[in-house]
């Protein structure tokens, strides 16, 4: 995990929250994240389709709107994750050139298109060791990140333009803080605001 963070290949929760809160990616599920750093803003988060390691996967039917996080996946893992991709499906994928498998890149080009590129130096990467200390601080990405969308998710030029416009206005900060969202699927949604003990419990968990 820290190896991935050291290469600035783990996106912050603030980054994913910003994308989903702005309704840029109306996705039900994110695939490809280690459960220790998977963003809680998605109802379902799993590492891979094979093991379903993660949360929220007691579904009646498999999710139909999926984000594939390929920033830190090996070429073999990328190919396994992307097998279900179809041009008419609803999916998005986040990649970086240094780790993107050539075969997977070809599939993305054939069945989707580039929505936007987050430039090198964007404050969207998690700092090293953040999963252990429960720190939210962000650092600058070491290279550009590319967001792809299927033909079904970006079916027209106006839709593609709207997606890019919304992405360009996501608020990313060095402190990585996420505004309280009572609708967050695994927070006490609709209930009382989480107290100081909730954060402390997470910090203690990270020390074991």
* Percent of the chain predicted with pLDDT > 70: 74
Residue 98: the pLDDT is 94
Q: How many CA atoms lie within 13 A of 122 on its CB side?
A: 24
Residue 49: the pLDDT is 81
Written in H, E and C, the secondary structure of the chain is CHHHHHCCCCECHHHHHHHHHCCCCCCCEEECCCCCCCCCCCCEEECCCCCCCEECCCCCCCCCEEEEECCCCCHHHHHHHCCCCCCCCEEEEEEECCCCCHHHHHHHHHHEEEEEEECCCCCCEECCCHHHHCCCCEECCCCCEEEEEECCCCCCHHHHHHHHHHHHCCCCCCCCCCCCCCCCCCCCCCCCCCCHHHHHHHHHHHCC
Average pLDDT, the chain: 79
Are 153 and 90 a contacting pair, CB within 8 Å? Answer: yes
Regions of the chain with pLDDT less than 70: 1-8, 21-24, 60, 128-136, 179-208
Residue 168: the pLDDT is 86
Residue 195: the pLDDT is 41
């Amino acid at each position: 995990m820290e190896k991935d963070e050291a290469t600035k290949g783990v996106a912050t929760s603030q980054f994913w929250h910003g994308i989903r809160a702005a309704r840029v990616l109306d996705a039900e599920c994110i695939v490809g994240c280690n459960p220790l750093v998977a963003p809680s803003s998605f109802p379902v988060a799993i590492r891979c389709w094979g093991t379903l390691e993660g949360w929220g996967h007691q579904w009646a039917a498999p999710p139909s709107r999926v984000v594939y996080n390929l920033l830190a996946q090996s070429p073999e893992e990328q190919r396994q994750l992307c097998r279900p991709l179809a041009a008419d499906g609803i999916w998005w994928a986040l990649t970086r050139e240094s780790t993107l498998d050539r075969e997977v890149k070809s599939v993305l080009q054939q069945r989707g298109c580039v929505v936007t590129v987050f430039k090198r130096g964007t404050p969207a990467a998690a700092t090293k060791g953040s999963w252990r200390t429960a720190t939210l601080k962000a650092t600058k990405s070491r290279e550009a990140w590319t967001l792809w969308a299927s033909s079904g998710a970006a079916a027209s030029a106006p839709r593609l333009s709207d997606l890019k416009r919304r992405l360009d206005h996501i608020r990313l900060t060095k402190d990585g803080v996420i505004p309280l969202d009572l609708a967050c699927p695994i927070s006490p949604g609709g209930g009382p605001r989480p107290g100081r003990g909730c954060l402390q419990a997470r910090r203690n968990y990270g020390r074991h």
